[in-house]
Structure 1
Amino acid sequence: MRRVIPVVVALSSVVLLGACSKLSKSGKNKDLSPKTGVAYNDPNNGGLHINRKVKETPGPGLVAIEGGTFVMGGSLNEDLGYAHDNLKRRVTVASFYIDQTEVSNADWLEYLHWIAQNFPDDGKLYYDALPDSLVWRHPLSYNEPYVNLYLRHPSFQDYPVVGVSWEQATAYCQWRTDRVNENILRNSGVLVDYKTRSERQATGNDAFNTDIYLNGQLKGDGIDGPNMPTDNKPGAQAGAKRTIRMEDGILKQPYRLPTEAEWEYAALGLIGNTVQGNIENSRTYPWSGLGVRSDKRKTQGRMLANFKITSGNNMGVAGDLNDGGDITVPVTSYAPNDFGLYNMAGNVNEWVNDVYRQLSFEDFEDFNPFRGNVFMDNQYENADGRVLAKDKYGRPIKVPAKAARKQTWEELQAAKGGEATTTSTYAYDARGFEDEETQELYGKTSLVNNKSRVYKGGSWNDRAYWLNPATRRHMQQDESDAMTGFRCAMTMVGNVFGPTSKGKSSGRAKTSKGSPH
C-alpha cells in the first residue's frame, strides 16, 4: 500500500482557519473569560485569541496510545546475559502517539528526494542522509546484492529502512515535523500552494521550519497564502493578516523517537489483557502466551514475528516456510498487537531516544521515565527582538540550557551584557547527572558513554529472547547495522483518553487516516 497525503488534517485546518477569520471580521464572540468576563477574540479589548474548537488528532501515520501504569522490565523473566540492566519497577507513561509501522525505504526515499529537490547543490546534506548500505557486507556472506538493491528497488519499498544511525533517525523526525506542518498550511492556503512555490522555483533558502515559522520569521511576498487569519491585534490595519500561532492549535507537535518506556509500553500492548483496571495475564512478547507461534485456528503453528528461529534457520523450509523472512519483511507483515502496531517484535530492532546506562532502573522518575543528555534551548540571533538564529538550512540553532530554572529579568540582562552571573556560567546537567564520558577509560574498561543509545525489539537476525520488549541493547548514536531501523512518536497534547473524554477506549487504539501504509 502507498502513502496517503494527510488531506483530512489539512481540511480540518481550513475549518479552523475559517472560524478564526470570521471571528476576526465580526469582532463578536460569545466565548467569555470565566475569570474576568472579558470576551475572547475581540480586537477592541486586545484581541486575545483562545481557540475552543480544537480537537486533538494524531499526525499522519500515528496511532494514539492510551497511557497508564505498567511494570517496566516486568516481562523479562530470564536474564540470559546477566546484564541486570532492566530490573522491575512500576512507572506511568502518559498517553502519546507512535507510528503504526516502522519507517520504510519508501519513506526514506521521500526524505532523500526532498533534500535533492530543495538543496540540489549541497552534496554533504544528501550524503549524510544516505543510509549506510555497506552494513549488508560480511566477509563470509554473499550479501552484495542488498548493498545496491535494498534501499531503491521497488520490490523493497515497503521494507523497513536499515543502515540508519540514531542521529539520522532523529534528523528524519525533525524533517518529518516540518513537512507535515508545511503540508497543513499549504493545503489550507495559509502558505502559498505547492504549485505556486514550484513555479517561482523556490529552493531550500526559504525551506519551511516549524519553530522559525511560529516565531514569525517566515512570511512575506511569495510565502503568505490567501487564507491567513485576520490580525486582531490592537492598532493593526483593517484586513491585516497574521501567521498561525501555537495558540491556534493547527500545527502538529514535533515527531521524535519514542522514549524507552513509551516503546516498551506500546510493544507489550497490555490494553488487550486489561479488564476493569486489572491486568489478567502478563506478557512475555507483544502477544499473549509464552510461545512465538500462533494459536489461531487458521494460522495455527505459524510464527508471529520475523526472527532467527535457530542457527542457520532464518525462515523455514521451502514449500512450507515458517516466518517467511530471510532478511526483513514488509512493515505491515504479521498480525498487529492490541494497540494496532506492527512488528513491535522482530523484523528490525528500533532506536529509542534514551541514552544507555546499565543502572537506568536506579536513577529514574516513575512518571514518563527518560534518560537523555542536557536540556537544549534555541539560540537567539537578536535576543531583544527575539529573532532565532538559523543554520544554512533554515533550522533553529540549538544550544545547551544555561540555567536550571527561569532566570530573573536582572540575571537575563546581565547575561546579555556579558556580565558574570551564577546562572550564565552554570553548567546545567539535570539529564546527565554529571556523568560525562571518561575519555581515558572509553574503549578500555567500558563502551558506554553519552553517545550510547538504546535499541529494542529484536530483528530478523536475532533469536526469540530479544523479542521480549524488556530486553535492551545499545549502540553508538553514529553507528548503524542491517538489523536496526526505527519508528517515530509524538507527544499527545492534552489527553484524548482522559476523564473529560466521552466514551471509553475499545482496546484497539485509533489510527490516523494519514497513515503511510
Structure 2
Amino acid sequence: MKKLIVLTAVIALLASCGKGDRGQLVGAKGKKWNPEKPYGMTLVPGGAFIMGKADEDIAATNDAPTKTVTVPSYYMDETEITNAEYRQFVYWVRDSIFKTKLALAADLQGAQPGDGGIGEYAFLDADESEDLTPWQEYYKNNYADLSLDGEGRKLNPDVELIWEQDEIPDEFYAEVYDSMYIPFEEAYNGQRTIDTEKIVFTYTEMDMEAAARNKGSKRSDYITQKKIKVYPDTTVWIRDFNYSYNEPMHNDYFYHEAYSDYPVVGVTWTQAKAFCQWRTLYHNAYRKQKNVERVNQYRLPTEAEWEYAARGGLEGATYPWGGPYAKNDRGCFLANFKPLRGDYAADQALYTVEAESYEPNEYGLYNMSGNVAEWVDSSYDVGSYEYMSSMSPAVNDKNNRRKGVRGGSWKDVSYFLQVGTRDFEYQDSARSYIGFRTVQSYLGTDVTLNASTN
C-alpha cells in the first residue's frame, strides 16, 4: 500500500510538471480574447444618471418620474440600423433557405458533389468520397432521419447560388428556384419577386429570468423556438397615412440602393429581436473559424440604456444636444422631426434622412432624437419607474405586448424628441417611423463615466 501511495504521488508530480504550472493554482485558460469594439459601434461608459422627465410633463402622462439609476458600460450602434445592414440579414436568411432546399432536393435525387447540377449543392456529409469527421458520422447515423429540414447538417459554403434563369444547371435546381418566388399570377409589371412569406429565420430563446427563479424545473421548460418572417413590411408607407400618396416609398425605400444608408422601418419588435440573434450568430460563426473566444450577444437596449446614451453625459438635458430648443444659434433645426405646424421640409427633410445625419451627441451617437423612433427591450408600463431596480433597470413582461419606443421620429412633434419622453407600440406592429439600433454589453467593469477617483 505504501508503494502504491508513493507511485501515485510521483505520477501526480510528473503530470503537474508536464503542464508547466509548477504545481501552482494558475487557473484554467480559455481561448484567446482581446476586447474588440464592434464595427459601427461606440463605447458608452457606464455610470449613474437621473432618469425621467427633465422638464414639466406637459402631456400629463405621469409615466416618467425622475429616478437615479446606474447602468454598466456597453457598446451601441452609432446610427440606427440601415436598410443595407438589414438587407444583409434578409439575404443571409434567404440564401440559407435556398441552399437548404437545394441540399434536400439533392438528397432526394441521391446526387453528390462532382455529379454536376444540383449535386453541387448537397450537404457536406453526402459526399461519400470524403471522410466524415467523427461528429458528422455520429450525427448522420443517429439524427439524419429526424432532421427532415436539414437542421444540424452543414451546407456547402463554397458553392455560389445561381439567380440568373439562363444559367440554371438542371430541372431539379429549376424546381427549387421556382419555389422561392411568388406564383406567376401574382406578378405584375413583369416582376416576379421572392416570396417574402417563406423567408423565415428560426432560432431558440431561453427565458433566463424565469429559469433562474424556478429552480428544480427542467431547462427545456424555458426554451422556445421562434420562427420570424424577416422581410420588413413595406406597406406601412401606405397604411400609416390616409389620403396621402406614398407609393414611391413603398416601392423603393427598402429595396433601392438610393436608400441603403437610410434607417430601416416597417420592422416589428420581434423582427428587431431576431436581427440581434442573427447578428450574434453571424459574428460568432466567424470567430469560431478563427478559434477565438465568442463575443457577447447583440440585443436591443433597455429603456435605461437608451436614455442614458441619448443624454450623452448631459445631466438634466431636454434633448441629446442639451436644449431647451430644437434649433441651434444659427436657427437651424438639430433633428429630423415635424416642426412648426407641419412644415416637414423646415428641417431639410421630408421623410427619413441618412442615418448619419445632423450632429452626433457627446457619445458619438447620431439621431438619438428624430429620424426614426427606436424599439427598446423593455415592456411599457406607466408605473414601471416606481418599482424597477436602480441597478441596470429593465422591466420585461412577456405577457405585456406593449413595448417601449423612444426618441421620436420624422413625423413627430418635438415633445417626442425629448430624451425623457416615453412611448410604446405593440410588439407585432410595424410602422413607417419606427426602427432600432442594437447594443452589446461591455465585458468588464473598468470603464465608468463617474467613478470615484479616491
Q: TM-score, normalised by structure 1?
A: 0.57
Alignment equivalent of 1:486, drawn from 418, 431, 436: 436
| Structure 1 match to 2:90 | 112
- Residue 359 of structure 2, aligned match among 313, 317, 335: 335
**Paired amino acid for 1:267:** A
Q: Give the whole-Å Cα distance in 2 for the aligned partners of 1:496 and 1:55.
A: 15
**1:324 paired to 2:348:** yes
CA distance in 2, matches of 1:171, 1:89: 31
SS of 2:267 mapped into structure 1: coil
CA shift, 1:251, in A, is: 1.1
CA distance in 2, matches of 1:79, 1:97: 31
Distance 2:26 2:436 in 1: 47
For 2:268 and 2:296, locate their aligned partners in 1 and report how far apart those are by CA, in whole Å: 23
Question: What is the letter of the counterpart of residue 286 of structure 2?
Answer: N
Letter of the structure 2 residue corresponding to residue 313 of structure 1: D
After superposition, the Cα gap between the structure-2 partners of 1:55 and 1:149, relative to the gap in structure 1 and judged at 3 Å, is same
Give the partner amino acid of 1:463: V
Aligned equivalents of 2:60 and 2:42: distance in 1? 35
Q: Tell me the distance in 2 between the aligned counterparts of 1:357 and 1:363.
A: 10
CA distance in 1, matches of 2:258, 2:30: 49
Letter in 2 for 1:126: I
Amino acid at match of 1:470: G
**Within 5 Å, which residues of 2 pair with 1:258-337?**
258-270=301-313, 273=314, 282-295=316-329, 300-316=330-346, 323-337=347-361
Q: CA 1:328 to 1:498, structure 2 compared with 1: closer, same or farther past 3 Å?
A: closer
Cα distance in structure 1, aligned partners of 2:30 and 2:90: 39
> 1:79-478, aligned counterparts within 5 Å?
79-120=57-98, 121=101, 124-126=197-199, 128-137=229-238, 138-186=241-289, 188=290, 190=291, 250-270=293-313, 273=314, 282-295=316-329, 300-316=330-346, 323-373=347-397, 450-478=400-428
Q: CA deviation at 1:310?
A: 2.2
Q: Is residue 377–residue 396 contact of structure 2 (8 Å, CA) maintained in 1?
A: yes
User: How far apart are residue 315 of structure 1 and its match?
Assistant: 1.7
TM-score normalized with structure 2 length: 0.64
| Counterpart-to-counterpart distance in 2, 1:292 and 1:498 | 29
Q: Structure 2: which 5+ residue stretches go unaligned? A: 1-16, 102-179, 181-194, 201-228
Query: Is it true that 1:73 corresponds to 2:55 in the alignment?
Result: no
Deviation for aligned residue 1:312: 2.8
2:358/2:367 contact within 8 Å kept:
yes
Aligned partners of 2:46, 2:57: CA distance in 1, in Å?
A: 27
Whole-Å Cα distance in 2 between the matches of residues 291 and 311 of structure 1?
16
Provide the rounded CA distance (Å) in 2 between the counterparts of 1:173 and 1:324. Answer: 32
CA distance in 2 between counterparts of 1:498 and 1:88 reads: 22
Question: Post-superposition shift, 1:184?
Answer: 2.5
Tell me by how many angstroms 1:74 deviates: 4.0
Cα deviation 1:248-277 (Å, max 9, x = unaligned): xx211110000000000000012xx5xxxx
| Residue of structure 1 aligned with 2:447, choices 475, 497, 516 | 497
Tell me whether 1:62 sits opposite 2:41 in the alignment: yes
CA contact (8 A) 1:29 1:39 kept: no
SS of aligned partner of 1:361: helix
Shift of 1:288: 2.3
Counterpart of 1:354 in 2: which secondary structure? strand
- The CA RMSD measured in Å over matched residues stands at 2.3
1:65-124 Cα offsets, whole Å, 9 max, x none, are: 11111111042x122321101111111111111111100000111111101111115764
Deviation for aligned residue 1:498? 5.3
RCO higher in 1 or 2 (8 Å CA, sep ≥ 6)? Answer: 1
The structure-2 alpha-carbon separation of the partners of 1:498 and 1:160, relative to structure 1 and needing over 3 Å to count, comes to closer
Aligned partner of residue 236 in structure 2, secondary structure: helix
1:294 positional shift: 2.0
State the partner residue of 2:112: none
Amino acid in the other structure paired with 1:342: Y
Determine if contact 1:74/1:89 at 8 Å carries over to the other structure: no
Percent of aligned positions with the same letter in both sequences?
Answer: 38
Question: 1:329 Cα deviation (Å)?
Answer: 0.3
Aligned AA (1:477): Q
1:62 aligned partner, one-letter code: M
CA distance in 1, matches of 2:294, 2:407: 31
Q: Deviations over 1:400-430 (max 9, x none)?
A: xxxxxxxxxxxxxxxxxxxxxxxxxxxxxxx
Matched pairs, number: 310
Q: 1:103 to 1:170 in 2, by over 3 A?
A: same
Contact residue 236 and residue 431 of structure 2 kept, 8 A: yes
Letter aligned with residue 347 of structure 1: N
Residues 37-62 of structure 1: per-residue CA shift (max 9 Å, x gap)? 2344xxxxxxx3256x7332232222
TM alignment of 1:23-42, pairs within 5 A: 37-40=24-27
Return the letter of the residue paired with 2:89: Y
Superposed CA offset, 1:301-343 (max 9, x none): 2111101112330122xxxxxx211000000001100000000
Q: Is the 8 A contact 1:91 1:368 kept in 2?
A: yes
Unaligned runs of 5+ in 1: 1-25, 41-47, 191-243, 245-249, 274-278, 317-322, 375-435, 437-449, 505-517
Greater shift after overlay, 118-127 or 169-178? 118-127
Cα displacement string for residues 2-60 of structure 1 (whole angstroms, at most 9, x for unaligned residues) = xxxxxxxxxxxxxxxxxxxxxxxx96556x8xxx82344xxxxxxx3256x73322322
Does the 8 Å contact 1:115/1:125 carry over to 2? no
- Cα distance in 1 for partners of 2:419, 2:448 equals 26
Instruction: Tell me which protein shows more helix as a share of its residues.
Output: 2
Q: Distance in 1 between matches of 2:419 and 2:34?
A: 32
What is the CA–CA distance in structure 2 between the aligned matches of 1:342 and 1:110, rounded to whole Å? 21
Query: CA distance change for structure 1 residues 451 and 29 in 2, over 3 Å: closer, same or farther?
Result: farther
